[in-house]
Structure 1
Amino acid sequence: MSNPNVSIIIVNYNGGDVVIDCLTSIFQNLDTASIEVIVVDNDSRDRSPDFIEQQFPTVKLLRQAKNLGFGAANNIGAHHAQGTHLFLLNSDTLIQQNILPTLVNKLESSPRLGIVGPRLLNPDGSFQLSTAYAIGLWGEWRTLQAVRKYRQPALRAALAQQYQADRDVDILVGAAMLMRRSHFFEIGGFDENFFMYFEESDLCQRFRNAGYHLLYTPDVALIHIGGFSVAQVAGKMAAEYRRSQRYYYKKHRPQWEQWVLHCYLAFKQWQQRQRT
């Protein structure tokens, strides 16, 4: 394919249960003449790369010899992409309509617009929280309050009402993000020091540092099953979450916030030891 408008990049890690459905939904609902689909496989052992190769011969499948993590795999996909735009898509998403023209039009409406994220839905079609406040002590507290409201069915409807129109946001969840390929490389792509967690928050922060703003739009939506790959290795990833959090604070936050985080995590570890 020559000069596709959008390169869709999907990172796969043992996602056989979801990635085939994701790819099927892409080819059923999007204009295949204007896209290329790239799957970066992080050394899956469930034969999902073989299934992709057999069922979707037009997909550019990039097999890796080890699990490189989400950010590094997306960087590889971006370097192989030919599209004007990159659409970073999780393997556990389902496309239900041709959402790309709307997203591309919004992105191209302003040269200072860095990333556009669509509305995310749960598998039952209900609202899914897909934005966050800028990472920091205050921002993480505000995001936690939003998450607590989201988890209470009685409060979720009121929260969803706040997302009925386009709005500038600090962070877009990395399940579905559209950006110009040139901007992605301008800011240096993903920081590969993040293996998992905080990598999209870091990307969003660096877009904002470069003077771009981020847009959430409810005008188009897709289903995000959520947490599939992470759920498989939840125990191992708890320590990785804290490592990434510390690194993010060291990179972006003032020293006093780093110190507060250090004290908080030390206290949490002490509490855990007391319980065992």
Structure 2
Amino acid sequence: MITNNQSTILVSIILVNYNGADVLPDCLYSIEKFIPKDDCEVILVDNNSQDNSLDFVSQNFPDITIIKLQKNCGFGAGNNAGAKVARGKFLFLLNTDTVLTSNIFPPIIDLIENSLNVGIIGTKLLFPDKSFQISFAYKVGIKGEYKTSRLYKSIQEKSQLIRLETNFQENKEVDFVTGAAFFIRTDLFKSLGGFDEKFFMYFEDSDLCQRVQNQGYKILYTPNVSLIHIRGHSMKKNTNAMAVEYRRSQLYFYQKHRPLWERLVLKFYLFIKFVYEFAKTRNSYSLEILKLLIT
């Protein structure tokens, strides 16, 4: 069992949990199986879960540090709460819907310690069937989002997905890596103030990657270690609310990082898209997004 009662902590694994009883056990058991306890700690931040996930952790993993929040504060705020008590030289921010299949830390630590200009490392992610999952993207902006959208559309063909995986067989500098498995220097994370908590969910990892790059650090994707990610687990629980939250965060990101013309183009595109969608379907979330655009 991993414990935090060590004098020297190299990696702090931070998990943010919200009603994750159906996925959390597999994640924690995989950490217990593959990650040596000598110099690692596990911190679980709970966003006011209403299921039995905290009881499960308390009963089966008594050495894990648990932080209970009084409400669902979101992904970024949850990780920030964990980082405040973390004692590791590095932070590994890990989604609860992941499963480790090996001890991924030795190669990642070796890579980041020998690359002083690297601030964040993202691992290779796999679907439960072990097929390749995209965990990187272009810089968020009109051009970048268009290129990322085309990338996702292209991999609907299996041959294109295989080709993409083949093209990422070596470490590569990228614009963005997903927060599902996010390895970052603790001092860098704290110097930037952690995640911007105005992002409740979505784009908080893009924002942090952008700010890390603004400090002159690189974002690195490595295929040399991998783990399983059950993508979209938390989003399935309230699809409409998540659709609204996605657009709220997207608009805030553009306001924070993109020039005026891009902000205007995005708003115009979204207005046309959701006026049409609301007229066609009368979906409540389309109306909510329209309200975002005119406030």
Q: Structure 1 length as normaliser, TM-score? A: 0.98
Instruction: Find the aligned partners of 2:55 and 2:69 in 1 and give their Cα distance.
Output: 13
State how 1:48-63 maps to structure 2 within 5 Å. Answer: 48-63=53-68
One-letter amino acid of the structure 1 residue matched with residue 108 of structure 2: L
Q: CA deviation at 1:270?
A: 1.4
Instruction: Find the aligned partners of 1:244 and 1:222 in 2 and give their Cα distance.
Output: 27
Kept in 2: contact 1:123–1:223 (CA 8 A):
yes
One-letter amino acid of the structure 2 residue matched with residue 45 of structure 1: Q
Instruction: Find the aligned partners of 2:231 and 2:259 in 1 and give their Cα distance.
Output: 32
Equivalent of 1:84, from 85, 89, 92? 89
Instruction: Find the aligned partners of 1:270 and 1:96 in 2 and give their Cα distance.
Output: 46
Q: Does 1:129 align with 2:131?
A: no
Kept in 2: contact 1:88–1:174 (CA 8 A):
yes
Deviations 1:135-186 (A, max 9, x none): 0000000111111122322321111111111100000011101111001011
Residue aligning to 2:286: none
Unpaired runs of 5+ residues, structure 2, are 282-295
One-letter amino acid of the structure 1 residue matched with residue 138 of structure 2: Y
Instruction: Find the aligned partners of 1:207 and 1:243 in 2 and give their Cα distance.
Output: 22
| Greater relative contact order, per chain length (Cα 8 Å cut-off, separation 6+) | 1
Instruction: Find the aligned partners of 1:150 and 1:202 in 2 and give their Cα distance.
Output: 25
Which runs of structure 1 show a deviation greater than 4 angstroms over 4 or more consecutive aligned residues?
none
Residue aligning to 1:120: 125
Q: Does 1:24 align with 2:29?
A: yes
Equivalent of 1:267, from 257, 272, 290? 272
Residue aligning to 1:10: 15
Residue aligning to 2:110: 105
Deviations 1:97-140 (A, max 9, x none): 11101111111112211001111111011111110000000000
One-letter amino acid of the structure 2 residue matched with residue 196 of structure 1: M
Equivalent of 2:220, from 215, 223, 228? 215
Instruction: Find the aligned partners of 1:93 and 1:80 in 2 and give their Cα distance.
Output: 23
One-letter amino acid of the structure 2 residue matched with residue 140 of structure 1: E
One-letter amino acid of the structure 2 residue matched with residue 110 of structure 1: S
Kept in 2: contact 1:121–1:127 (CA 8 A):
yes
State how 1:40-55 maps to structure 2 within 5 Å. Answer: 40-55=45-60
Instruction: Find the aligned partners of 2:157 and 2:112 in 1 and give their Cα distance.
Output: 33
Residue aligning to 2:263: 258
Unpaired runs of 5+ residues, structure 1, are none
Instruction: Find the aligned partners of 1:211 and 1:72 in 2 and give their Cα distance.
Output: 24
Equivalent of 2:100, from 95, 102, 106? 95
Residue aligning to 1:182: 187
Residue aligning to 1:152: 157
Kept in 2: contact 1:167–1:216 (CA 8 A):
yes
How high is the sequence identity, in percent, across the aligned residues? 49
Instruction: Find the aligned partners of 2:145 and 2:215 in 1 and give their Cα distance.
Output: 22
One-letter amino acid of the structure 2 residue matched with residue 204 of structure 1: C
Residue aligning to 1:192: 197
Q: CA deviation at 1:273?
A: 2.6
Deviations 1:19-45 (A, max 9, x none): 111010001001111100000000111
Instruction: Find the aligned partners of 2:189 and 2:238 in 1 and give their Cα distance.
Output: 29
Taking only aligned residues, the RMSD between alpha carbons, in angstroms, comes to 0.9
Instruction: Find the aligned partners of 1:223 and 1:274 in 2 and give their Cα distance.
Output: 40
Q: Structure 2 length as normaliser, TM-score? A: 0.92
Kept in 2: contact 1:40–1:64 (CA 8 A):
yes
One-letter amino acid of the structure 1 residue matched with residue 242 of structure 2: M
Instruction: Find the aligned partners of 1:112 and 1:164 in 2 and give their Cα distance.
Output: 21
